[in-house]
Amino acid sequence: MPNAHLREFKLGNDDYAALAAIDTAVYPEYPGNADDTRYDDENFDRTRYVLKRYVAEVERQIVGYGVYHHMTSRFHPQRFWMWLAVHPHHQRQGIGTSFYEQILADLGALNAIAVGTSSRETMPATLAFLSTRGFREVLRSWESRLDVTTFDPRPFQKYLDRVTRDGIVLTPLAAERERDPQWLTKVYDLHTAAMADVPSHAPYTPPPLDQFVRYTIESPWVLLDGYYVAVDGDLYVGESYLNRNKDEPGHLYQGLTGVRREHRGRGLAMALKLKTIQYAREHSYSLIKTWNATTNEGMLAINGRLGFVRQPAWIEFEKTLP
> Strand, coil or helix: what is 135?
coil
Q: How far apart are CA 282 and CA 285, in angstroms?
A: 8
Query: Per CATH, the architecture of 5-112 is what?
Result: 3-Layer(aba) Sandwich (3.40)
Rounded to two decimals, what is the model's pTM? 0.93
Q: How far apart are CA 305 and CA 311, in angstroms?
A: 16
> Strand, coil or helix: what is 306?
helix
Domain boundaries, the chain: 5-112, 144-313
CB 172 within 8 Å of CB 228:
yes
* pLDDT tens-place string over residues 122-179: 999 999 999 999 999 999 999 999 999 999 999 999 999 999 999 999 999 999 999 9
The separation between CA 179 and the C-alpha centre of its own chain, rounded to angstroms, equals 29
Residue 255 is predicted with a pLDDT of 94
In the predicted structure, residue 2 carries a pLDDT above the cut 70: no
Q: How far apart are CA 290 and CA 129, in angstroms?
A: 26
φ/ψ region of 109 (left if φ > 0, alpha if ψ in -120 to 50, else beta) reads: alpha
Q: How far apart are CA 266 and CA 277, in angstroms?
A: 19
- Asked whether the domain spanning 144-313 has the same topology as the one spanning 5-112, the reply is yes
Contacts with 171 (C-beta within 8 Å, 6 or more apart), sequence order: 228, 229, 231
* pLDDT tens-place string over residues 45-67: 999 999 999 999 999 899 999 99
Query: Per CATH, the architecture of 144-313 is what?
Result: 3-Layer(aba) Sandwich (3.40)
CA angle 172, 290, 286 (to 5 degrees): 75
